[in-house]
């Protein structure tokens, strides 16, 4: 009886020892060393896996950070400076200060009041409609209004305006991950600097057609006249392919271009309401005169 037990213990013990030795060597051979920093960084990242950084998810970005050892060209757009500063801390590099960005829709709502020439009732997907035809006023560049950007947004920051047909970005919620930029088949949406006090100026049109043709499709289209570029004291505006573009890195938001634009294609946002009209009655600085024109003004910025 005792010998049976003893044999069993010895045999099983021997097998155990053999396996232990084999497993030890196997473990040595196939050892995976993971930098603990990856876990630390992954913990700091938002964990929404939005893909805004261009990686497969937050952990993939963390791995890329550690592999590269610095933050050049890598950034969590959704996390903003708070997250990126902490990542820099963990990596032991200086945090790159970056301007907070926001998604901006570069297409005028309402097609500048132009009548719609046709209607589309096919598959409600912008990429598909884009492959079929131009759009309801014939503009081959502007927003198709089917809401693929709104569907792509993981942060509920874009909604379609049912009346005007273009997307509206909620500045508070937008983290500038760029998902909408990728979803738009026409490249209407751009990530731009939020600007000082959230004030920014941009050309609300990307129509590359010549002036006359562009105006036929949209009353507010940029016609590439170049007046804004001449008016700009900071050389922030370039006109290429019949359309103006404001470089947000150079723009100081002086708004000289806004008043210069003959078609109203340049838009300024978040500027205080009265600042807009005093330019016309400039020579009349009388304080008594100011309140009078102010009355109709609140409507104008609201429409903007």
Q: Which is nearer to another protein, 37 or 60 (CB)?
A: 60
Residues 263 and 61: their CA atoms lie apart, in Å, by 44
Question: At its nearest, how many Å lie between another protein and the CB of residue 123?
Answer: 4
Give the nearest distance from C-beta 207 to another protein in angstroms: 11
Residues at the contact surface with another protein, assessed by CB under 8 A: 117-118, 121-123, 125, 127-128, 131-135, 138, 140
Residue 174 beta carbon to another protein: minimum distance, rounded to whole angstroms = 22
**Closer by beta carbon to another protein, 209 or else 268:** 209
The answer to whether the beta carbons of residues 196 and 244 sit under 8 Å apart is no
Side-chain half-sphere of 86: how many Cα atoms within 13 Å?
13
Cβ 213 to another protein shortest distance, Å: 9
The C-alpha atoms of residue 178 and residue 96 are separated, in whole angstroms, by 19
| Residue whose CB is less far from another protein, 117 or 197 | 117
CA–CA–CA angle 27, 31, 34 (5° rounding): 145
Query: Contact 267/166 with Cβ under 8 angstroms?
Result: no
Query: Which of residues 41 and 183 has its CB atom nearest to another protein in the complex?
Result: 183
Beta carbon of residue 12, minimum distance to another protein (angstroms, whole number): 48
- Nearer of residues 123 and 280 to another protein, judged by Cβ: 123
Nearest 5°: the CA angle 36, 39, 88 is 90
Q: Within a 10 A sphere around the Cβ of 271, how many other Cβ atoms?
A: 18
């Amino acid at each position: 009886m005792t010998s049976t037990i003893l044999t069993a213990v010895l045999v099983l013990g021997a097998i155990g020892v053999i396996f232990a030795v084999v497993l030890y060597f196997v473990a040595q051979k196939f050892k995976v060393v993971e930098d603990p920093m990856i876990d630390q960084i992954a913990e700091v990242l938002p964990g929404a896996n939005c893909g805004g950084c261009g990686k497969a998810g937050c952990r993939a970005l963390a791995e890329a950070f550690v592999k590269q050892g610095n933050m050049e060209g890598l950034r969590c757009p959704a996390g903003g400076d708070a997250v990126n500063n902490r990542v820099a801390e963990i990596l032991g590099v200086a945090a790159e200060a970056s301007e907070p960005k926001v998604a901006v829709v570069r297409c005028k709502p309402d097609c500048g009041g132009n009548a719609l020439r046709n209607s589309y009732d096919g598959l409600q997907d912008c990429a598909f409609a884009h492959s079929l035809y131009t759009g309801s006023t014939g503009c081959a560049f502007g927003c198709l209004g089917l809401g693929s950007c709104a569907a792509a947004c993981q942060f509920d920051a874009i909604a379609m305006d049912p009346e005007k047909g273009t997307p509206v970005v909620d500045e508070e919620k937008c983290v500038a991950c760029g998902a909408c930029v990728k979803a738009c088949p026409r490249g209407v949406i751009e990530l731009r600097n939020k600007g000082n006090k959230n004030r920014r100026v941009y050309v609300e049109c990307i129509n590359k057609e010549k002036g006359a043709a562009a105006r036929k499709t949209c009353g507010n289209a940029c016609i590439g006249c170049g007046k804004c570029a001449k008016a700009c004291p900071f050389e922030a505006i370039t006109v290429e392919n019949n359309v103006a573009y404001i470089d947000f890195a150079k723009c100081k938001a002086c708004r000289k271009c806004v008043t210069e634009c003959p078609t109203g294609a340049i838009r300024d946002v978040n500027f205080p309401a009265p600042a807009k009209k005093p330019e016309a009655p400039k020579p009349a600085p009388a304080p008594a005169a100011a309140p009078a024109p102010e009355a109709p003004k609140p409507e104008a910025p609201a429409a903007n």
